[in-house]
Amino acid sequence: MYCTRGFAISIYMKLLVVQTNPEFGDKKTNLESIETLVGDRKADLIILPELCTTGYQFKNKKELDSLAESTQGPTCERLAKLSARTNSHVVAGFAEKDQGRLFNSSVLVGPDGVEGTYRKVHLFYKEKSLFHEGDLGFPVFRAGDARLGMMVCFDWIFPESARTLALKGAEIIAHPANLVLPHCQRAMITRALENHVFIATANRIGAEGRESEQLVFTGQSRVVAPSGKVLADGPREAQAVLEVNIDLKEARDKHITSKNHLFDDRRKGQYEI
């Protein structure tokens, strides 16, 4: 919906951020759970967690390979049906298989199928022995009226991830996650503020102990505005759906003051990078 107020044009979108507790390896049950959580809600964009259909703690590459799919597989087909039913775009983390390579990926899905793919650039902990490093960079896609970028979980700790997406025009960063460290939710305030973008982190809950150590996921999915204001927080230990209305106008204005522009004021020649 468009609304003109002076010279500013408001462009409103509704986001659903879905916090789940997947059963390891049971893609059918996990997809059904997602569909039940979304229910009859309509939205412009639905964001699901990292590896939301398989679970996280793969024992080895053979097990991962048995659960991974291409972007043309049944998981993305089912997500396209969810997109059509809810009149939305869907962002979801999944285990991707492409020409024998395995990636921790996130897809942007519309009613007709996959419209964009991102492969996790920064692998966390034991992911390094399972997945190939992402090789697509940080692309920006169209999702309705919005320019959308994606990160996956541990990408958050590298400021270059969100900054690259913002410089390429992203207004919303969709962030599927399986967080086990306690820092990300607070850090998203800074990431949103320093780039003047909306950031929506869809985290999972629960625990997996399929190896010698048990991983406990932190929940607390979060949506943050370009101003750094927290628009919605999820619970720590329960499944949930966060419903948030945003105005893209906020992400399109990069002024800090009338004399300061977030990107124009960057002095690239002074940075030793």
**Which residue segments constitute the domains of the chain, with CATH numbers given?**
13-260 (3.60.110.10)
User: Active-site residue 3, yes or no?
Assistant: no
In this prediction, residue 8 carries a pLDDT of: 65
Residue 3 has pLDDT above 60, yes or no: no
Count of CB atoms situated within 10 Å of the CB of 169: 13
190 token code pair:
């800074």
**Start-to-end CA span in the chain (Å):** 41
* Average pLDDT along the chain: 96
In this prediction, residue 212 carries a pLDDT of: 74
- pTM greater than 0.85 (yes/no): yes
User: Active-site residue 81, yes or no?
Assistant: no
Higher pLDDT residue, 216 or 272?
216
Helix (H) or strand (E) holding 63: helix 61-67
pLDDT tens per residue across span 110-167: 999 999 999 999 999 999 999 999 999 999 999 999 999 999 999 999 999 999 999 9
In this prediction, residue 273 carries a pLDDT of: 78
Residue 4 has pLDDT above 50, yes or no: no
Which residue among 50, 96, 115, 250 is the active-site one? 50
Residue 203 has pLDDT above 70, yes or no: yes
Beta-carbon contacts of residue 263 (< 8 Å; ≥ 6 apart): 166, 167, 254
Q: In this structure, what DSSP letter does residue 153 have?
A: G
User: Active-site residue 50, yes or no?
Assistant: yes
Residue 6 has pLDDT above 50, yes or no: no
Which residue among 52, 96, 97, 153 is the active-site one? 153
Which residue among 97, 120, 171, 250 is the active-site one? 120
Q: In this structure, what DSSP letter does residue 249 have?
A: H
